[in-house]
Chains A and B, each alone.
Chain A
Amino acid sequence: MSELRVLCCVKRVPAPGARINVTDDGQAVETAHLGFTTSPHEECAVEEAVQLVETNGGAVTVLTLGPPEAEEQLRYAASVGATDLVLVPIEDGLAAWDPQRTASALADAIQAIEADGGPFDLIMFGNESADSGGFQVGVRVARALGRPIVNGIKGTELDGDQIVARRAIDGGFEVYRLPRPAVLGVKEGINLPRYPTMKGRLASKKADMQVRDIAAGAGGQAMVQLKRPAETVKETRILGTDETAAAAIVDLLEEIGVLGGTQ
């Protein structure tokens, strides 16, 4: 079998801690004191791609559409094994990129990359992006490219020309068999992503990054504002400050009727 060409699409998002704050104009998440990351689903997609290529030979390309700073997320992917980095730079914020617009630009970018470097055997998306969570960009891109996609994938395996993909459901898996080239929407749990090594970090600084300018028109979903959900402030009852609190805890368990357990 010839070498595998795998592409992963990742999105730069803020990494909030205990709460998410919104800017006064309601147009964005307040990021003044935040770092940035990608969705764990996408981190796992990159890891899965790197593992597939380690076993079968080939190369992993990572693509993002975002502000110039999204280079940070591409370099991170390079530090854990991706070799080719592609940035589709945008000038307006990602909030202006509704799912249709994003997908149309990504599909154009992928076609341009494939025209230069050859077709991808497999394209991987996160199941949903961490922030806007539209649950659709991967599906739209796959459709535009005329390739099959299944979402929610927590296991992959190559079987000759087929990709066996497993989707987790409560208490088991659904198994799909897709011909290549194929597209998958991946969920966290498919693997345990590695941490970058020192060598990986150094290599990532030197990795080549292509910049591709792509234009796309807005779709039919337009953001008006972000807002925080109503919060119910509760009084926390402190049951103790050492292990003697066990008595009060078991009283509570008894009261709510969960002490039945295995007698």
Chain B
Amino acid sequence: MTMLVLLEHDCGEITEAAREALTAARILGDSLGESIDAVAIGAGADDVVDEAGRFGADTVHVVSHDLLTDYGPDAWAEALAQLADDADADVVMSVGTDRGNEVMAQMAARIDAPFVANCTEIDTDDDPWSVTRVQWGGSLLEDVTLTADRKLVTYAHHAVAAEPADAAGDATVETFEPDLDESVTVTMIADRDVLSQGITLSTSPVVVSGGRGVGSADAFAPLEELAELLGGVVGCSRAVTNNGWRPHSDQVGQTGTRIAPEIYIATGISGAIQHWVGAMASKRILAINTDPEANMVSKADYAVIADLHKVVPAISAEIRRRRGA
């Protein structure tokens, strides 16, 4: 029996999600008494072997083929499915990123097996397994049973913090060449457009967000000014993007971006559950709201119960004053 762990990488650049996958796989491997067979697919796969070893992979299956030039859901899933057959895998797992879930869904569809996405806990004592998974983007949990000969799962992204293995050694490399034809290239990346480098909403240490309470697109100017003074970026709620005041790329939440800044300053945002799940990983939250009962206020570490239109400019003014400008 073999447990395969799909490693996400972008042309040889290993991702944090791949490190998480290996960390989670060590827990699963321990409870199953199975070693860790990592899988790296396509161009650049060789480059992830050392890092995979450091995070506990016993073996890395380097999957290559002339057609595996870049990422494509069909190409990756077809290759993974063939390797799973070859290795007689009883478990195939990864982490629930866009790619992780997409490849696993593709593989599940190929073999008509269940696929449980975004798990937080997996109990393998009995067969079927008992699994806890995420619903509503993290606002709710669901316990399910998983019945399958070949079990396909992803761990929710960030459910397990990536940590190098204690007794890490060099991973054994095994090469695998799947049998592929041109049909798998239909869904392969054809091109890339790079827009911005530098800090983005998901990586910024400070996010200054506005909700419906801001009132208009123009009224975001003071929030932009404060964000800039703090070297941060502006975020917003869905009420704001729906009104066309800000682009969707600024939206924090279940169907927007998940953030984890040092401080989240949420102004004029009520704190609906779908907004909260995107903000809850923030180290600290400061809510500025006229309503002391707002959910955002009761869940925040700090709050100011006042009109954001007065408080936000006052913060910028105070920062400037202290900087002596």
Tell me if B137 counts as interface (CB < 8 A to partner A). yes
CA distance in complex: A244, B315 (Å): 9
Indicate with 1 or 0, residue by residue over A235-254, a CB within 8 angstroms of chain B CB atoms: 01111111111110110111
* A192 touching B242, Cβ below 8 Å: yes
Tell me if B109 counts as interface (CB < 8 A to partner A). yes
Cβ contact of B231, chosen from A18, A39, A167, A260, cutoff 8 A: A260
Known: A130-B136, A149-B73, A188-B248. A258 touches B263 (CB 8 A): yes
Closest B residue to A171 by CB, please name it: B196
Closest B residue to A261 by CB, please name it: B231
CA distance in complex: A128, B274 (Å): 14
Interface residues of B in 136-157 (CB under 8 A from A): 136-148
Interface residues of A, dominant DSSP: mixed
In this complex, the interface size class of chain A, counting residues with CB under 8 Å from chain B, is 35 or more
* A172 touching B195, Cβ below 8 Å: yes
Interface residues of B in 219-249 (CB under 8 A from A): 228-232, 238, 241-242, 244, 247-249
Which residues from A are CB-within-8-Å of B96? 135
Cβ contact of B145, chosen from A173, A222, A237, A252, cutoff 8 A: A222
Which residues from B are CB-within-8-Å of A252? 263, 286, 302
Closest B residue to A134 by CB, please name it: B117
25 A-B pairs with C-beta separation under 8 A: A99-B115, A131-B136, A134-B115, A139-B102, A148-B187, A150-B73, A151-B101, A172-B195, A174-B191, A175-B189, A187-B255, A189-B251, A192-B242, A192-B248, A220-B128, A220-B147, A221-B116, A236-B301, A236-B303, A241-B304, A241-B306, A245-B314, A246-B315, A249-B311, A258-B263
Chain B residues near A (Cβ < 8 Å): 71, 73-74, 96, 98, 101-102, 104-106, 108-110, 112-118, 128, 130, 134-148, 186-197, 200, 202-203, 205-206, 228-232, 238, 241-242, 244, 247-249, 251, 254-256, 262-263, 270-273, 283-284, 286-287, 295, 297-306, 310-311, 313-315, 317-319, 322-323
